[in-house]
Amino acid sequence: MIDVRRLRVLREVALRSSLTAAAAVLEYTPSAVSQQIAALERETGVALLERRGRGIVLTPSARALLKHADVVLAQLERAEAELATHTGQLGGTLRLGAFATGLLDLVPKALTQLAVVAPDIAVHVTEAEPDEALPALISHVFDIAIGFEYDLVAGPQIDGLYRRDLLIDPMIAVGVPAAARPGPVGLDELAMERWLLPPEDTYCGQLVRRACEAAGFKPEPAAICQDFRGLAALANAGLGVALVPTLALTPDARRSATALVPGLARRLFAAVRDGAEEHPVLATTLTAFAHAAATPLPA
Question: pLDDT tens, position by position, for the chain (299 residues)?
Answer: 889 999 999 999 999 989 999 999 999 999 999 999 999 999 999 999 998 877 889 999 999 999 999 999 999 999 999 999 998 889 999 999 999 999 999 999 999 999 999 999 999 999 999 999 999 999 999 999 999 999 999 888 899 999 999 999 999 999 998 755 668 999 999 999 999 999 999 999 999 999 999 999 999 899 999 999 999 999 999 999 999 999 999 998 888 899 999 999 999 999 999 999 999 999 999 999 999 999 887 76
9 & 33 share domain: yes
Strand pairing report for 121-127 and 92-98: parallel
Amino acid identity at 79? A
Cα 109 to the chain's mean position, in Å?
Answer: 18
DSSP string for 158-202: -SSEEEEEEEEEEEEEES--GGG-SS-B-GGGGTTSEEEE--TTS
DSSP state of 277: G
Predicted confidence (pLDDT) per residue in 192-208, tens digit? 999 999 999 999 999 99
Length of the chain: 299
Residues 6+ apart with CB under 8 A from 42: none
* Number of independent structural domains in the chain: 3
Backbone angles phi, psi at 204, to 5 degrees: -65, -40
155 & 290 share domain: yes
117 & 58 share domain: no
In a domain, 34, yes or no: yes
74 & 17 share domain: yes
CA–CA separation, 289 and 106 (whole Å): 7
The CATH number of whichever domain residue 157 belongs to comes to 3.40.190.10
Cβ-based burial of 4 (10 A; exposed 0-12, middle 13-18, buried ≥19)? exposed
Residues 6+ apart with CB under 8 A from 141: 25, 95, 97
Cα 192 to the chain's mean position, in Å?
Answer: 33
163 & 272 share domain: yes
Q: Of all helices (H) and strands (E), which one includes residue 102?
A: none
114 & 76 share domain: no
CA–CA separation, 298 and 294 (whole Å): 12
> Do residues 74 and 272 lie in contact, with contact meaning Cβ atoms separated by under 8 Å?
no
> Mean pLDDT over all residues of the chain?
93
In a domain, 299, yes or no: no
| Pick from 130, 164, 158: nearest CA to 66 | 158
59 & 10 share domain: yes
CA–CA separation, 32 and 10 (whole Å): 12
pTM: 0.91
In a domain, 242, yes or no: yes
248 & 193 share domain: yes
12: left (phi over 0), alpha (psi -120 to 50) or beta: alpha
| Pick from 286, 245, 249, 248: nearest CA to 269 | 286
What is the SS3 assignment for 75?
Answer: helix
- Domain range for 56: 4-81
Per-residue pLDDT at 256: 85
